Amino acid sequence: MFKATELNLRNEQREKRWRLLFLLMALLLILPVLIILILLVYRGGPVISWSFLFEFPRNGMTEGGIFPALLGTIFLVVVALVFSVPLGVAAAVYLSEYAPDNWLTRTINLAIINLAGVPSIVHALFGVGAFVLFFEFGTSILAASLTLGIMTLPVVIVATRESLQAVPHAFREACWALGATRWQTIRRIVLPNAVSGILTGIILEVSRTAGETAPIMFTGAAFFVPFLPESVYDQTMALSLHLYTISTQVTGVPEDLPFGVALVLIGIVLSMNALSIAFRVYLRNKKKW
């Protein structure tokens, strides 16, 4: 039976203090999020109803529901995902599996990192110049979604590339030894084992795409649209812009109405994230390594 020395006791006490410090730091990060969620549920919960979710705004947005903004937000997120996910995954596959380690590849990686740090208002101006004016999409769902897709593309690329590099290299060597080509190895072995990491990037993209205001304000979202969009070339309302509008630009809005809109927006993001996380956990449980 070994007896703890004075040095062991001091180290144990120091370890407990550091553990307590890290726990407090984690709680300090979580506490503001909990406070915000509790406030939104407390103030916005009574506003939520079927009529609030499935009616059009009335009386200058001081009454009625948020259905056009709710549907528009879903359209914007889905179209942005359809554009950015295949392109981001393809770019990550090239950078991880095909590109040589030279100055060009390093320059591309640096450009991706810098693109992730560009302010959203700059992306908005790019969207106006590129998609609204140059490609003549006009102010539409398509222009706004492409702008959001460009803005979130670095997130998908980085998350996918890291998940691809996390797949053991021995898996590739085993496939090559059996005569498989590089693309067959990527398609049948590497990508299936990296899907959970790719979903992480998609989760982050959904969270940011649904909450952005500046990029869609200039490229496709409208203050008010009295009809539902019939194609990607129509304008649409969006929850983030609607929340900004009724909070700052419209007078006579009930105090709890903005909290209800914010609660619905948070609910959409959390629901999409929950589905992605559940699918990611399911795929991870199927892994054999």
Count of domains for the chain: 2
What pLDDT was estimated at residue 276? 77
**Does the residue 41 lie in any domain?**
yes
Nearest to 57 by CA among 71, 42, 68, 41: 68
**Does the residue 1 lie in any domain?**
no
The reply to whether 149 and 252 lie within a common domain is yes
**Does the residue 259 lie in any domain?**
yes
The reply to whether 251 and 126 lie within a common domain is yes
**Does the residue 266 lie in any domain?**
yes
Question: Does residue 130 surpass a pLDDT of 60?
Answer: yes
User: Residue 140 belongs to a domain with what CATH number?
Assistant: 1.10.3720.10
The reply to whether 57 and 105 lie within a common domain is yes
Span 191-234, pLDDT tens digits: 888 888 888 888 888 888 888 888 898 898 888 888 888 889 99
The reply to whether 17 and 157 lie within a common domain is no
What pLDDT was estimated at residue 63? 86
Mean pLDDT score of the chain: 87
Whole-model pTM: value is 0.85
The reply to whether 158 and 226 lie within a common domain is yes
Which has more pLDDT, 276 or 122? 122
Structural domain of residue 36, as residue ranges? 6-47
Span 144-199, pLDDT tens digits: 999 999 999 998 998 899 889 888 888 888 888 888 888 899 888 888 888 888 88
What pLDDT was estimated at residue 1? 56
What pLDDT was estimated at residue 82? 92
The reply to whether 42 and 54 lie within a common domain is no
The reply to whether 101 and 83 lie within a common domain is yes
Question: Does residue 34 surpass a pLDDT of 80?
Answer: yes
Cα distances (angstroms) measured from residue 208 to each of 73, 88, 121, 212, 265: 12, 16, 14, 6, 12
User: Looking at this protein, which amino acid is placed at residue 89?
Assistant: V
